[in-house]
């Protein structure tokens, strides 16, 4: 059971837009920055978004992040088959004093 | 650019100690907070703990009693020891780095190494 809650799966057609939610509490998402990771099949996670809505160098602006209250959202526009991956949100939990992750969301581009 | 390589036994017997090393190349070991993160087969990510080059550590409360993370700056290596392992500790173990002085996100990842706990 993960501290942060993500939908197990989402899907959309190529070229469309999808959003992935990450729900937490005041001890984690509500009061700390959220990051997002993309894990392509058989590979290590890769930083996709940090400090809620900042993209590392090399990440296209098709990817966006936002946060409101105790929920964060990753948005992906212009979906490509290469975007098929597992996506994880993560943040610090001030009560647990630990980094916590969501259970991951599998994106399928139909 | 900085690269990470995890190494260690791929098979550990139950009740024994899992020991892994993360070698840092292409940059300074002192620029990052180093964490170990694991991922059981088919499941999500779990943070194990971190170390800074001054020896400062913090561990996941769920694993704290069994974990030690250490750093050897001269060898540019970060090590993980997990004691009294069981089958539930079977996972891909990742070494990950955080460059931010303030915020928790991991901008550097190793490729991971699979450790299976079995007799």
pLDDT tens digits along A5-41: 999 999 999 999 999 999 999 999 999 999 999 999 9
Q: Rounded to 5 degrees, what are φ and ψ at A33?
A: -70, 145
Q: What is the CB-side half-sphere exposure of residue A53 using CA atoms within 13 A?
A: 8
Average pLDDT over residues B96-119: 95
Check pLDDT > 90 for residue B102: no
Mean pLDDT (whole number) for A59-72: 97
pLDDT for A42 equals 94
A43 neighbourhood in chain B, CB within 8 Å: 111
Chain A CB within 8 Å of residue B3 CB: no
Q: What is the mean pLDDT of chain B?
A: 95
Convert the pLDDT of each residue in B31-53 to its tens digit: 799 999 999 999 999 999 999 98
Q: What is the pLDDT of residue B78?
A: 97
Interchain contact B60–A (C-beta under 8 A): yes
In this prediction, residues B49-64 reach a mean pLDDT of 93
Q: Is the pLDDT of residue B100 over 90?
A: no
pLDDT given at position B54: 85
Q: How far is B16 from chain A (nearest CA, A)?
A: 25
Interface touch A91/B35, C-beta < 8 Å:
no
In 3-state terms, what secondary structure has residue A43?
A: coil
Minimal Cβ distance to B94: which of A44, A47, A90: A44
Helices and strands per DSSP (H, E), number in chain A = 0, 9
Q: Which residue of B has its CA nearest to A86?
A: B44
Residue B101 has pLDDT above 90, yes or no: no
Place of tokens 């993309």: A38
Q: What is the mean pLDDT of chain A?
A: 97
Taking the CA of residue B42 and the nearest CA in chain A, the distance in Å comes to: 10
Mean pLDDT for the stretch of residues A49-59: 97
- pLDDT of B94 higher than 90: yes
pLDDT at residue B55, rounded to an integer: 87
Residues of chain B in contact with residue A91, where contact means CB-CB under 8 angstroms, are 104
Cα A4 from chain centroid (whole Å): 11
CA distances from A23 to A53, A95, B92 (A): 16, 16, 25
Q: Is A104 helix (H, G, I), strand (E, B) or coil?
A: coil
pLDDT at position B19 is 98
């Amino acid at each position: 059971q993960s501290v942060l809650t993500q939908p197990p799966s989402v899907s959309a057609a190529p070229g469309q837009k999808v959003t992935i939610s990450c729900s937490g509490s005041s001890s984690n998402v509500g009061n700390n920055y959220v990051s997002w990771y993309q894990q392509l099949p058989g590979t290590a996670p890769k930083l996709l978004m940090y400090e809620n809505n900042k993209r590392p160098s090399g990440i296209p602006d098709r990817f966006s992040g936002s946060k409101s209250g105790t929920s964060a959202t990753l948005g992906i526009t212009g979906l490509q088959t290469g975007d098929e991956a597992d996506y994880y949100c993560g943040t610090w939990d001030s009560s647990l004093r630990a980094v916590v992750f969501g259970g991951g969301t599998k994106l399928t581009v139909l | 650019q900085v690269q990470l390589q995890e190494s260690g036994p791929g098979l550990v017997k139950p009740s024994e100690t899992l020991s892994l090393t993360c070698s840092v190349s292409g940059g300074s070991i002192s620029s990052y907070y180093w964490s170990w993160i694991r991922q059981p087969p088919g499941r999500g990510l779990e943070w194990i703990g971190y170390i800074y080059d001054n020896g400062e550590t913090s561990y996941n409360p769920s694993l704290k009693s069994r974990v030690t993370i250490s750093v050897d700056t001269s060898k540019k290596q970060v090590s993980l020891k997990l004691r009294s392992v069981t089958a539930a500790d079977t996972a891909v173990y990742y070494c990950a780095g955080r460059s931010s002085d303030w915020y928790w996100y991991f901008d550097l990842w190793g490729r991971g190494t699979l450790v299976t706990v079995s007799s």
